[in-house]
A and B are shown apart, each in its own frame.
Chain A
Amino acid sequence: MARKSIRGKEVVVVSDNDDDDVDVDLDENIIKYIKPVSVYKSLEARSKYNPYFLRRSLRYIIQAKKKKRSNSSGKIRFNYRDGLQLHLKSSHDAFNFDFYRAEEDHGPEVDVSVKSDTLKYGVLKNDVGNPQLSPLTFCSKHRNQRSQRDDSNNVKQLNVLLMELDLDDLPRGTENDPTHVNDDNVSSPPRAHSSEQTSDILSTTQPAIGESSEPKVPYLNDDNVSSPPRAHSSEKNLSTRVNDDDDVSSPPRAHSLEKNESTHKASNILTTTQPSIAESSKPKVPRISRRKQLYAKRFKARGTQPAIAESSSEPKVPHVNDDNVSSTPKAHSSEKANDILTTTQPAIAESSEPKVPHVNDDNVSSTPRAHSSRKNKSTRKNDDNVSSPPRTRSSKKASNILTTTQPAIAESSEPKAAHVNDDNVSSTPRARSSEKNKSTQKNDNNVSLPPKTRSSKKTSDILTTTQPAKAEPSEPKVTRASRRKELYEERCEAKRLEGLKSRQFYHSQTMQPMTIEQVMSNEDSENETDDFALDLNERLRLERLVGVSKEEKRYMYLWNIFVRKQRVIADGHVPWACEEFAKLHKEEMKNSSSFDWWWRMFRIKLWNQGLICANTFHKCTTILLSNSDEEGPSTSGSDANANKQQSMEVDAE
């Protein structure tokens, strides 16, 4: 341990062997940032299992901060973190925080794993110095060795990557952080800018999360603001990140600010014009994010279609990929809509980021996205510098939550992209072939699912924890006020729940009395989920049609339930859906000529609309013929189809 004086502030630096491969300059900067990041990550992981942990941690922060002022001798400058750290270590020594540099141009990264000694190592090393100059993560040779070992670790690292701050975009912390003297070097406008954007993203993507987020949420935004490290701006990232944390010192204020900012950002992200922002606005919210983490996990596993998932509140994302069609959607169907929302946003952000490696991955499912991501990619670098807003102010819980979840997600996708898709990077063209993307995506999914999930969660934990820590020392007043507000909100929440528990609730549709468990459960009981009832209602609805023949109603019924069950929701799904439908109802088509007729008519309509090509049409027909016992009618049918196909091809040309 050495005591240094950086810009007039005392910092304690712990030298670490693992940092050998990091530049000395970077070391200094890194030191300032690693600590909060590592703490954040450990906190995030911890709070995943214990929703009250964050609240407690914040209290430690406040207490530690007070202690710090009163007793500065022989202690590390930011003893609030120590408080957290001690708490973590004493009660939860599951974290191992490795700092590494995934790629040369990305700057240091932090990998969160389970051992606690690493955490200590990471935390002690850091000090809040100049927040804006160093990237958040750094690469250690220890890490490099590990990264070559297996892909899963790489994936983990990738996850972490996203948590980092964007370079110049995070000029925050100037007012909040007493320690960083270089605030004047950091351009506050960029920070404010980016934080806004981040918050925008956050608010739009996870409003629900935001509400339930803890006071710590504010600094999540800061974390979010920090975009994944980029080559030249790694230092900046780190520094800006730190600044953000500092700025977030007071939870209440942070909450409001973040919320405002996140709303902005969310909208921005949606338009995919500001990848950097989107990226940074995704800190994972530990408390609420259990569900979301599940979703993030799923999202990472799939690795695709963030954009698609965005719009749907259901786990329909997998559809784009043929492989995923049957398995992934179903697998993930159990996940909640919120998760999808949360993950989709970061996904979008991710795709828009100029992260070369994972651009293809993100864009796998959606071809337009590929285009946009490319665009974003190029602009991103600039955006990152500009956009990382000073999240510090955003104090709204909602935004916090959003930010926390999103970075986690972003992280996960990025590291994956970097490592897993190295081959894919060059091979996956930006072209439209969704199949190609799908295949790469699949690989990514298989590889990346487990590690991503874990690491992203951890990183988000760390991020959340580090953020508040940073913010605190810089604005004591804000902290107190925010703390009061937080307590008040907690009391109101408790009162509300008490009131709810004493009432008898009735279901809105059946008007039957409900039990408290039913009321408080997150299950949406107004939608019909029972397949049998949905099928039945569909059939009755079609039966009510006037002027439609019985056979056509039968066909419409079978197609409609197929579409509903298989979640055929995008244009790109239709060719697959046609082939599968043909396979599924082969028998009925063979036995009933009228069914076959309506099926053919429908396919012609689809072709007319451009939803299927002549090739698919032909494939569907051959499916019928493939195991056909009756050669006569089918061959004549196939001839007719062949003729049709030829004519269609001619038309197409």
Chain B
Amino acid sequence: MSKITLGNESIVGSLTPSNKKSYKVTNRIQEGKKPLYAVVFNFLDARFFDVFVTAGGNRITLYNCLGDGAISALQSYADEDKEESFYTVSWACGVNGNPYVAAGGVKGIIRVIDVNTETIHKSLVGHGDSVNEIRTQPLKPQLVITASKDESVRLWNVETGICILIFAGAGGHRYEVLSVDFHPSDIYRFASCGMDTTVKIWSMKEFWTYVEKSFTWTDDPSKFPTKFVQFPVFTASVHTNYVDCNRWFGDFILSKSVDNEILLWEPQLKENSPGEGTSDVLLRYPVPMCDIWFIKFSCDLHLSSVAIGNQDGKIYVWDLKTCPPVLITKLSHNQSKMVIRQTAMSVDGSTILACCEDGTIWRWDVITK
């Protein structure tokens, strides 16, 4: 476990918005009655930077953000099991560049949908409980990792439908894993966080041969020699409660718990000594009224700002490039009162989407002066 170094106080951001940028509501869509848990822009394929997907109930829907605030629905998929409730969705790619959408929910099955052919490409079975988050490796978009309530994180190859690695065991999470994220430049590394209040950094460098093998596996996927990775390279106890969202910020990590703030901290790993290391909290971004779990934030492609919703239906947009932290703006609408489960920022940060507990999607566009 890591220690928090003494003497370095973290800097707390001020809640006074600078209003460097302003946004206004340009659209609002009501997508059924079920809560929407996820909304994600496509950052993989430049052709589809304006396309986003939402997940809620037993439905996955693709939309296109058009100019002037317009949103057009492109496709919608519904699981035939009405009991399914999708919690997370992510964009992926086939080996030929065709876009996939990977969605998972309470049933624990990950559906990989080929949006070009509008069919299910693979159904990934293996998780023992609900899937809380799916993230794609931007450097190799056929690889996705999934965080599950069964305390494990699994690495999948969505092209071949193989479960390559399972990150669980003696050193793994001891409670539900709520969020995972790949490192932006280190292809072997990712971070996971969960209800056991820890943030763990894992490396699959030693097992990379199995990853490569998964691309050329021709036999039955279930016969693939799935390996267990039981020990992370680093475990941080930065938070004291459920950690429900973590994102890499270069070599730093942005993570939030249910204590009304997002932390930016640096994991200092010890070379060749897994298990040892320190975590150094650098900055704190307060987010009022954000103390229920399963609220996720999002950043734009270049990590210049972060947008997070709260229980009151408001959105806080923080500037990531400033120290001390500066609140860019706070977005609120008198009709937006429901919990905002997840936000999505477009590639340049000009559009912010929010999906709410009542099934609505709010679209905020930046006001260009």
Q: Which residues of A contact B (CB under 8 A)?
A: 507, 509-515, 518, 530, 532-533, 536, 539-540, 543-544, 546, 550
Beyond A511-B126, A511-B128, A544-B231, whether A518 also contacts B223 by CB under 8 A is yes
Within the complex, what minimum Cβ distance (angstroms) separates A537 from chain B? Answer: 8
The 8 Å CB contact of A510, one of B163, B206, B220, is B163
Task: Provide the residues of chain A in CB contact with B207, threshold 8 Å.
Answer: 536
A512 contacts B125, C-beta separation under 8 Å = yes
Query: Quick one: which of B225-246 are within 8 Å of A by CB?
Result: 225-228, 231
A544 contacts B275, C-beta separation under 8 Å = yes
Within the complex, what minimum Cβ distance (angstroms) separates B208 from chain A? Answer: 11
B272 contacts A510, C-beta separation under 8 Å = no
A543 contacts B272, C-beta separation under 8 Å = yes
- Give the distance in Å from the alpha carbon of A550 to the alpha carbon of B221 in the complex: 38
B274 contacts A515, C-beta separation under 8 Å = no
Beyond A515-B220, A536-B206, A540-B206, whether A510 also contacts B275 by CB under 8 A is no
Within the complex, what minimum Cβ distance (angstroms) separates B245 from chain A? Answer: 26
Beyond A540-B206, A546-B273, A546-B275, whether A510 also contacts B222 by CB under 8 A is yes
Can you pick out 13 interface pairs between chain A and chain B where the beta carbons lie within 8 Å of each other?
Answer: A509-B226, A510-B166, A510-B226, A511-B127, A512-B163, A512-B222, A512-B226, A513-B222, A515-B220, A515-B222, A518-B223, A546-B275, A546-B276
B126 contacts A533, C-beta separation under 8 Å = no
A533 contacts B125, C-beta separation under 8 Å = no
- Give the distance in Å from the alpha carbon of A603 to the alpha carbon of B7 in the complex: 48
Within the complex, what minimum Cβ distance (angstroms) separates A557 from chain B? Answer: 13
A514 contacts B222, C-beta separation under 8 Å = yes
The 8 Å CB contact of B225, one of A518, A533, A546, A550, is A533
Residue of A nearest to B225 (CB): A530
Task: Provide the residues of chain A in CB contact with B274, threshold 8 Å.
Answer: 540, 543-544
Residue of A nearest to B226 (CB): A510
Within the complex, what minimum Cβ distance (angstroms) separates B128 from chain A? Answer: 6
- Give the distance in Å from the alpha carbon of A546 to the alpha carbon of B222 in the complex: 37
Beyond A510-B226, A546-B276, whether A540 also contacts B231 by CB under 8 A is yes
Within the complex, what minimum Cβ distance (angstroms) separates A545 from chain B? Answer: 9
Task: Provide the residues of chain B in CB contact with A511, threshold 8 Å.
Answer: 125-128
Task: Provide the residues of chain A in CB contact with B127, threshold 8 Å.
Answer: 511
- Give the distance in Å from the alpha carbon of A157 to the alpha carbon of B226 in the complex: 50
Residue of A nearest to B275 (CB): A544
Query: Quick one: which of B260-278 are within 8 Å of A by CB?
Result: 272-276
Within the complex, what minimum Cβ distance (angstroms) separates A7 from chain B? Answer: 64
Residue of B nearest to A547 (CB): B273
Task: Provide the residues of chain A in CB contact with B126, threshold 8 Å.
Answer: 510-512
Interface string of B283-318 (1 = CB under 8 A from A): 000000000000000000000000000000000000
B227 contacts A533, C-beta separation under 8 Å = yes
- Give the distance in Å from the alpha carbon of A569 to the alpha carbon of B173 in the complex: 35
B228 contacts A509, C-beta separation under 8 Å = yes
B125 contacts A513, C-beta separation under 8 Å = yes
Task: Provide the residues of chain A in CB contact with B220, threshold 8 Å.
Answer: 515
Residue of A nearest to B276 (CB): A546
For the complex with contacts A510-B222, A512-B224, A536-B207, 16 further pairs of A-B residues with Cβ separation under 8 Å are A509-B228, A510-B126, A510-B166, A512-B163, A512-B221, A513-B222, A515-B222, A518-B222, A530-B225, A532-B209, A539-B206, A543-B272, A544-B231, A544-B275, A546-B273, A550-B272
Residue of B nearest to A512 (CB): B222
Task: Provide the residues of chain A in CB contact with B228, threshold 8 Å.
Answer: 509
Task: Provide the residues of chain B in CB contact with A514, threshold 8 Å.
Answer: 222
Residue of A nearest to B228 (CB): A509
Within the complex, what minimum Cβ distance (angstroms) separates A222 from chain B? Answer: 45
Task: Provide the residues of chain B in CB contact with A536, threshold 8 Å.
Answer: 206-207
Interface string of B190-228 (1 = CB under 8 A from A): 000000000000000011010000000000111111111
Task: Provide the residues of chain B in CB contact with A544, threshold 8 Å.
Answer: 231, 274-275
Task: Provide the residues of chain A in CB contact with B128, threshold 8 Å.
Answer: 511
Within the complex, what minimum Cβ distance (angstroms) separates A542 from chain B? Answer: 11
Q: Which 8 A-B pairs have the closest CB atoms?
A: A512-B222, A510-B226, A511-B126, A513-B222, A536-B206, A544-B274, A512-B126, A544-B275
Within the complex, what minimum Cβ distance (angstroms) separates A201 from chain B? Answer: 39
Task: Provide the residues of chain A in CB contact with B223, threshold 8 Å.
Answer: 518
Residue of A nearest to B223 (CB): A518
Task: Provide the residues of chain A in CB contact with B225, threshold 8 Å.
Answer: 530, 533
A507 contacts B227, C-beta separation under 8 Å = no
Within the complex, what minimum Cβ distance (angstroms) separates B160 from chain A? Answer: 13
Task: Provide the residues of chain B in CB contact with A509, threshold 8 Å.
Answer: 166, 226, 228
Residue of A nearest to B229 (CB): A540
Within the complex, what minimum Cβ distance (angstroms) separates A19 from chain B? Answer: 59
Residue of B nearest to A514 (CB): B222
Residue of A nearest to B152 (CB): A511
- Give the distance in Å from the alpha carbon of A152 to the alpha carbon of B275 in the complex: 61
Residue of B nearest to A513 (CB): B222
- Give the distance in Å from the alpha carbon of A512 to the alpha carbon of B156 in the complex: 12
Within the complex, what minimum Cβ distance (angstroms) separates A75 from chain B? Answer: 57
Residue of B nearest to A515 (CB): B220
